[in-house]
Every structure is written in structure tokens, then in C-alpha cells.
Amino acid sequence: MSTNETKESVEMNDQHEEEIIAENEPLSGNHNAPADQEEAVETSGEQDSRLAALERLAEDNQNRYLRAQADFDNFRRRTMKEKEELAQYATSKLVGQLLPVLDNFERALAANGEGAQSDSFAKGVDMIYRQLSQVLEAEGLKPMDAVGQPFDPEHHQAIMQVESDEYEEGTVVEVIQSGYWLKDKVIRPAMVKVSG
């Protein structure tokens, strides 16, 4: 065999091996396909878990937002209620300071003397008393009607317990000093005698 023939034979063998390798590559590619699919499945699983985590995060943020919105609505309602109460009872200090004046007018009317001068004086005091009462009523002041009512420590201040045939035990018999409501709030409890 000549050197040329040997070269040709080696080249043919090399070509033949390359063809065999080329034919087998798709098989080896298919052999690696399940690994690629596993990687794709793992990537898909990772994406699903990331998506689920993001969905949970979005849901948590939505819940926080709704809670913050509800807290703000509650705060706004509470603030509005406090402002309304403040406006409603803004005059309570002034009315409380005027109550002793009202009491003194009642005493002056009760100590009505006889004679022409005392009649005109009593009429003048009565007119002033009514005028003051009307002004205070316009601000929401109402006297308590305590006589004959069951004793209530939130509305009455008992200063004495007396025997009574007319009233049951624990009932207000007499008012010593009038109690007053300012709108729906007790501004001063009535000072009373209670049957025992």
C-alpha cells in the first residue's frame, strides 16, 4: 500500500467516524432532553412559588390598606363627634356659674314680703328671673323634676333620709336645691331628701 492510499484510508475512516458521531448526536441530544425538561420544570416551580409569594404580599398590602382606611374613618368620626360635643357643651361652664344666681332669684321670690313696695320688688325680681330662665333654656338648660322619682345617685345628691307615709322607700320626697340638665347631660344633681 502506498502512502497516498494510506492517507485516503485514514481520511475515509475519519469521515466515517464524523458521520457516526453526527448520527448519534441527536440521540445524545434526546438523552439530555429530560434534564432540560427537569430544569424547565424547576424554573416553572420557582416562578409559581415566586408568583404565590407576590400574591400573598399583594393581599397583605391590600389588608393593611383596608385596615388603615377603616382606622382613619373611625378617627374622623370620633373627631367629628368630639367637635360636636365640644360645641354642644361649650356653654356648660358659663351656665354652671349662673346656676347660683338662679338659686338666689328663687330664694328672693320665696321670701316675698307684704306691702306695695315688696309687691313691685317681687314682680321685678320675677321678671328678671323669668328672663334669665328663658336665656338659659335657650342654651339647653332644663330643671330636673325630682320629687316622687326613685333616688338615682347619678341625678340626685341625698343629704337626708326622712320617714314618709306618702312615698315608698328610696323615693325623693323633697328638693332642697334644684338639679339641672344641660341638653342630655347632668350639669348639677338635685340636692334632695329621700324617704327611708
Q: In this structure, are 36 and 106 located in the same domain?
A: no
pLDDT for position 36: 58
CA pair distance 19, 57, nearest whole angstrom: 56
Q: In this structure, are 105 and 186 located in the same domain?
A: yes
- DSSP annotation of 169 reads T
pLDDT greater than 80 at residue 37: no
* 12: confidence class by pLDDT, cuts 50, 70, 90: low
CA pair distance 4, 10, nearest whole angstrom: 10
Asked whether 164 and 195 are in contact (CB, 8 A), the reply is yes
Residue 179: exposure state from Cβ atoms within 10 A (0-12, 13-18, ≥19): buried
CA pair distance 55, 58, nearest whole angstrom: 5
Q: In this structure, are 110 and 120 located in the same domain?
A: yes
Mean per-residue pLDDT, 89-98: 78
Domain range holding 21? 1-88
Query: Number of folded domains in the chain?
Result: 2
CATH no. for residue 102?
2.30.22.10
Mean per-residue pLDDT, 177-182: 90
What does the mean pLDDT of the chain come to? 79
Contacts 24+ apart (CB under 8 A), 102-111: 102/129, 102/132, 102/133, 102/136, 103/177, 103/178, 105/129, 105/132, 106/178
CA pair distance 26, 101, nearest whole angstrom: 111
All three cell numbers of 108: 328672693
121-133: pLDDT as tens digits = 778 788 888 888 8
Q: Please identify, among 63, 88, 113, the residue that sits at the C-terminal boundary of a domain.
A: 88
Beta strands (DSSP E) in the chain are 141-143, 156-162, 172-177, 180-182, 185-188, 190-195
Q: In this structure, are 83 and 111 located in the same domain?
A: no
Is the model more confident about 139 or about 19? 139
pLDDT for position 45: 76
Mean per-residue pLDDT, 62-72: 94
Q: In this structure, are 108 and 158 located in the same domain?
A: yes
Asked whether 137 and 180 are in contact (CB, 8 A), the reply is no
